Structure 1
Amino acid sequence: MSPIRLALVGLGKIARDQHLPAIAATPEIELVAVASRNARLAGVDCFRSIEELLAEVSDIDAVALCTPPIVRREQAMAALAARKHVLLEKPPGPTVGELNPLVAMAKRENRTLFAAWHSRFAPAVEPARAFLARHRARSVTILWQEDVRVWHPGQDWIFEPGGLGVFDPGINALSILSAILPEPVFVSGAKLDFPANRQAPIAAEVELASISGLPIHGSFDFRQSGEQFWSIEIETDAGRLVLAFGGARLSLDGEPLVDEQEEEYRGVYRRFVELVRTSGIDADAVPLCLVADVFMLGRRSVVEDFMW
């Protein structure tokens, strides 16, 4: 079977750090083109926009959108209208309402739309889901605290409307949470810290609960220095289950159950290949809905200016 001919749209940090290595490690995919306003990649055709790419290269099969969320809807519509399969980096967009029309368009064109919640492909996620299917959770604590200057250097768009602020990484925790718990969760309250000179939160404390009343607390912070935290700690009837390092490690009462190298994006592209082969759609909006509910219910607090 011929490889899927892929174009990468957006060539920033996430594309270079994660997408390019994962694509190179996926034999069923061939990277043939890149669209970026400010960057070029040796060895492939390069264009300044997705519109230019689609007009000039007719024989691509799919596009992966790694641009900031605010522009992804129009790019996805252009790709689907050209009958290309589409992979959306997370979040799939800046608003909940724009995802369903994209799903409908993908169905009309018989093309794949994949909202790639990459953290769900971390090695500890499926074992944690299986554990929680057998044991009762009593409480959940999310600690997602990182230094924005290290992980998103100079990326002003992340603090603009639609950039999600601290929930750009924080939504990864919610994507894991909604995948491993056996029942839906909802937001019951939040406190959001907005820098006086920014339009998106730099930190948040969030209260959630499951349908049966499971208490869940999330602490999200972009100002973390020193040790960084990407963990979900779950007290259960069988002990304390901890997903650490964004889902790369899993332990029960301190005893390791999973400790593997991060290969989330290889899992993302394996799943994309499966979907493209069948023109399937995988576009779960739950993590984005939870973040939207945080913004709707959250009490806003203004904190000191944030400067790079």
Structure 2
Amino acid sequence: MRDIALVGIGKIATDQHVPALAASEDWRLVATVSRSGTVEGVEAFTDFDAFLEGRPEVGTVSLCLPPVPRYAYAEAALRAGRHVMLEKPPGATLAEVQALARLADEAGLTLYATWHSRMAPGVAPARDWLADKRIERVAIDWREDVRRWHPGQEWVFEPGGMGVFDPGINALSILTAILPFDIHVQQATLEVPENRQTPIGAEIALSGNVRAVFDWRHEGEQTWRIEVDTDAGRLTLSEGGHRLTIDGAEQGPAAGGAPIPGEYPALYARMAELVGAGASDVDLAPMIHVADAMTLGRRETARPFEF
């Protein structure tokens, strides 16, 4: 097993990263860095530089910080000779993640820009089924309640927080994993609350007859659905990629009854593979589509939003 440190002990870390590491056969969580959060039984630091100096033998760090401060931590870790795993989105800008990728390559270190939704069990079978099909239409319907998933987290509506694209990028990460061709944003409409900086709703049209609707105000049943109409029928990924149907028939994502790992355990298994192979994985396609939507999007003022 390899030693790893977890940086940023907030909701996503405690809900997903800590349990995934506790169950991992590849990793041993030996340190955390956070201003306030800790993990029972694990050495806790409040300063990242103090961790880097005090635990030089810990060769890998997983960064669960919000996107805006993440670059400085990742750069410091790479310059200190540590492999780096990035929570999604991998940074606040494309340029900074590209700079990190170059730095990791020059240092011979692993940099992994993770997209957890790609690890949902229906995604790989969907990609395989679509590989030889003619795709006629794609519709994404991604609606959830920001108060439920990001309670009181004001940073999501600040510059760099991405607003509704924080969940929307999950859909785009699945889309770019399953389509057998490249796509690009053609137009977008962004609904921005008058008291906020980032959108709470968005509609996007992409090439290839792809349409996406994202809404962060949805208080009913949470909806994470992608429909793909093809010359061989309709493929549907629902429940964020965990359920796959073709023309309404359920498809078994785990062939032969093999156990299905959770998204985050699968991410950490992938990180172990990358470190072992001396490789990196920095796919920025989902982030490029968000950046393009922000650039091309027509902004409409929405009613004020408060948590």
Deviations along 1:196-255, whole A, 9 cap, x unmatched?
11111000011011xxxx200000000001111111011111111100011001001111
Does the CA contact (< 8 Å) of 2:59 and 2:82 recur in 1? yes
3-state SS, counterpart of residue 258 of structure 1: coil
Deviations along 1:49-77, whole A, 9 cap, x unmatched?
32221121111010000000001111000
User: Following the alignment from structure 1 to structure 2, what is the Cα–Cα distance between the partners of residues 104 and 217?
Assistant: 33
1:194-273 correspondence runs (5 A): 194-209=192-207, 214-258=208-252, 263-273=262-272
Which moved further from structure 2: 41-50 or 156-165? 41-50
1:151 maps to amino acid: W
User: Following the alignment from structure 1 to structure 2, what is the Cα–Cα distance between the partners of residues 63 and 89?
Assistant: 11
Residue from 15, 20, 27 that aligns with 1:29: 27
3-state SS, counterpart of residue 5 of structure 2: strand
Residue from 147, 150, 163 that aligns with 1:149: 147
1:285 is matched with 284
Residue-pair matches, total: 302
Does the CA contact (< 8 Å) of 1:146 and 1:229 recur in 2? yes
Deviations along 1:31-65, whole A, 9 cap, x unmatched?
00000011122111101132221121111010000
Does the CA contact (< 8 Å) of 2:125 and 2:253 recur in 1? no
User: Following the alignment from structure 2 to structure 1, what is the Cα–Cα distance between the partners of residues 196 and 252?
Assistant: 39
| 1:259 Cα deviation from its structure 2 partner | 6.2
3-state SS, counterpart of residue 100 of structure 1: helix
User: Following the alignment from structure 1 to structure 2, what is the Cα–Cα distance between the partners of residues 85 and 160?
Assistant: 29
Name the % identity.
Answer: 50
User: Following the alignment from structure 1 to structure 2, what is the Cα–Cα distance between the partners of residues 108 and 259?
Assistant: 38
1:269 maps to amino acid: Y
| 1:134 Cα deviation from its structure 2 partner | 2.1
Deviations along 1:157-205, whole A, 9 cap, x unmatched?
1000000000001001101101110111100000000001111100001
1:16 is matched with 14
User: Following the alignment from structure 2 to structure 1, what is the Cα–Cα distance between the partners of residues 38 and 172?
Assistant: 33
Q: Which runs of 5+ in 2 are unaligned?
A: 255-259
**Deviant stretches of 4+, over 4 Å:** 259-262
Does the CA contact (< 8 Å) of 1:248 and 1:262 recur in 2? no
1:192 maps to amino acid: L
2:297 maps to amino acid: G
1:271 maps to amino acid: R
1:87 maps to amino acid: M
1:87-98 correspondence runs (5 A): 87-98=85-96
Does the CA contact (< 8 Å) of 2:157 and 2:198 recur in 1? yes
2:234 maps to amino acid: R
**Root-mean-square deviation (Å):** 1.1
1:29-178 correspondence runs (5 A): 29-178=27-176
User: Following the alignment from structure 2 to structure 1, what is the Cα–Cα distance between the partners of residues 173 and 115?
Assistant: 7
Does the CA contact (< 8 Å) of 1:145 and 1:229 recur in 2? yes
User: Following the alignment from structure 1 to structure 2, what is the Cα–Cα distance between the partners of residues 49 and 102?
Assistant: 21
| 1:258 Cα deviation from its structure 2 partner | 3.4
User: Following the alignment from structure 1 to structure 2, what is the Cα–Cα distance between the partners of residues 49 and 305?
Assistant: 36
Does the CA contact (< 8 Å) of 1:23 and 1:266 recur in 2? yes
Deviations along 1:89-128, whole A, 9 cap, x unmatched?
0000011111111111101111100000111111111100
3-state SS, counterpart of residue 305 of structure 2: coil
2:295 is matched with 296
Does the CA contact (< 8 Å) of 2:194 and 2:304 recur in 1? yes
1:222 maps to amino acid: W
1:127 maps to amino acid: P
1:279 maps to amino acid: G
Q: Which runs of 5+ in 1 are unaligned?
A: none
| 1:78 Cα deviation from its structure 2 partner | 0.4
Which moved further from structure 2: 250-259 or 189-198? 250-259
3-state SS, counterpart of residue 74 of structure 1: helix
3-state SS, counterpart of residue 190 of structure 1: strand
User: Following the alignment from structure 1 to structure 2, what is the Cα–Cα distance between the partners of residues 34 and 12?
Assistant: 11
When normalised by structure 1's length, the TM-score is: 0.96
User: Following the alignment from structure 1 to structure 2, what is the Cα–Cα distance between the partners of residues 39 and 121?
Assistant: 27
